[in-house]
């Protein structure tokens, strides 16, 4: 089996592929203070939870936007499974034509998401990933990566509100019953959820205008499902887009 691991600023997402079939997905908290051994214990426990052993893992591929955690998890997988994971980065074949000013600056998570979209969707395509940051990536009709947009994530916005205002506290991120909130919590929820949805709709309109054609739009990331429900644009939700992209990249290199 192939172990795919996407390391974000908040969560580590793992998936195991038996051939082309995704057998399970799981999440860990991203913590740069954890040692190799701590991550090894957590990964081993996750495999056991899904009735797998370390011997079942034949290879692994990792994408990471947190270099220190990427190194720790790579070492952990090596200890557990006696393999050297493929780390997504310069020199790895992706099949992605990157047209930004400095292709080396493109984050591994954005590369994985773009490759996942190339494998599954009609071009041109826009990929929305709502995690710690909300990112939008744009692929043209030929599948080339043109660039994108980075905005503060919904949880990051909520954290800023709670930490920098005396009377606003942390709340559940969910849509209130109406856009016009009747109390402080509903007002904050409206700003977070409907505000993020409106931002996506507005940016997608501008992207479509610049492209000159209507793109396929696909969303992934922890909060996307809650937000895109309230968008007026047609957006496909794919929870495992980045893992699928990592699987495809692994296949291109083997």
Span 1-55, pLDDT tens digits? 999 999 999 999 999 999 999 999 999 999 999 999 999 999 999 999 999 999 9
List the beta bridge partners of residue 86.
61
Average pLDDT in the 112-120 region? 98
Q: Do domains 2-87 and 103-246 have the same CATH topology?
A: yes
- Decide: helix, strand or coil at residue 218: strand
Whether 61 shows a pLDDT value over 90: the answer reads yes
> Tell me, what's the pLDDT at 173?
92
Neighbours of 37 (CB within 10 A): 12
Task: Find the angle CA(36)-CA(38)-CA(41) to the nearest 5 degrees.
Answer: 110
Whether residue 231 contacts residue 213, with contact meaning beta carbons closer than 8 Å, is answered with no
Architecture of the domain whose range is 103-246: 2-Layer Sandwich (3.30)
Query: What per-residue confidence (pLDDT) applies to 4?
Result: 98
Whether pLDDT at 166 is above 80: no
User: What's the pLDDT at 232?
Assistant: 97
> Given this model, what pLDDT does residue 109 score?
95
Closest CA to 142 of 75, 63, 94, 211: 211
CB 138 within 8 A of CB 146: yes
pLDDT at 170 (0 to 100) = 81
The pLDDT assigned to 25 comes to: 96
43-70-100 Cα angle (round to 5):
135
Residue 150's contacts (CB-CB under 8 Å, 6 or more residues apart) are 133, 134, 135, 136
How do residues 183-206 score in pLDDT, each as one tens digit? 999 999 999 999 999 999 999 999
Catalytic one of 6, 109, 129, 244: 109
* pLDDT reported for residue 193: 97
15-29: pLDDT as tens digits: 999 999 999 999 999
Q: Is 172 exposed, middle or buried (0-12, 13-18, 19+ CB in 10 A)?
A: exposed
Q: What is the pLDDT of residue 70?
A: 97
Q: Is 109 a catalytic residue?
A: yes
Domain ranges across the chain: 2-87, 103-246
Q: Which residue has the higher pLDDT, 168 or 136?
A: 136
- According to the CATH classification, is domain 2-87 in 3.40.50.300? no
Over residues 225-234, the pLDDT tens digits come to 999 999 999 9
Report, as an integer, the average pLDDT of 200-214: 98
Summarize the confidence of residues 111-126 as an average pLDDT: 98
Would you state the pLDDT for residue 175? 96
């Amino acid at each position: 089996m192939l172990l795919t691991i996407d390391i974000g600023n908040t969560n580590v997402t793992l998936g195991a592929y038996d051939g082309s079939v995704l057998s399970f997905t799981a999440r860990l908290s991203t913590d740069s203070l954890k040692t190799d051994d701590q991550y090894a214990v957590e990964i081993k426990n996750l495999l056991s939870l899904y009735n797998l052993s370390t011997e079942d893992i034949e290879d692994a591929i990792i994408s990471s936007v947190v270099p220190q955690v990427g190194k720790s998890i790579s070492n952990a997988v090596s200890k557990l499974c006696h393999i050297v994971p493929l780390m997504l980065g310069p020199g790895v074949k992706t099949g992605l034509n990157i047209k930004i000013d400095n292709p080396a600056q493109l984050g591994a998570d954005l590369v994985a998401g773009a490759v996942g979209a190339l494998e599954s969707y009609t071009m041109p395509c826009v990929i929305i990933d709502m995690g710690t940051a909300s990112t939008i990536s744009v692929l043209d009709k030929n599948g080339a990566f043109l660039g994108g947009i980075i905005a503060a994530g919904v949880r990051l916005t909520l954290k800023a509100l709670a930490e920098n205002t005396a009377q606003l506290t942390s709340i559940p991120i969910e849509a209130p019953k109406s856009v016009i909130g009747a109390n402080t919590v509903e007002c904050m929820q409206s700003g977070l959820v409907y505000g993020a949805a409106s931002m996506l709709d507005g940016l997608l309109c501008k992207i479509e205008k610049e492209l000159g054609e209507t793109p396929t739009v696909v969303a992934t990331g922890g909060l996307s499902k809650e937000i895109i429900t309230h968008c007026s644009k047609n957006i496909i939700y794919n929870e495992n887009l980045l893992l699928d992209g990592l699987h495809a990249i692994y296949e291109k290199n083997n």
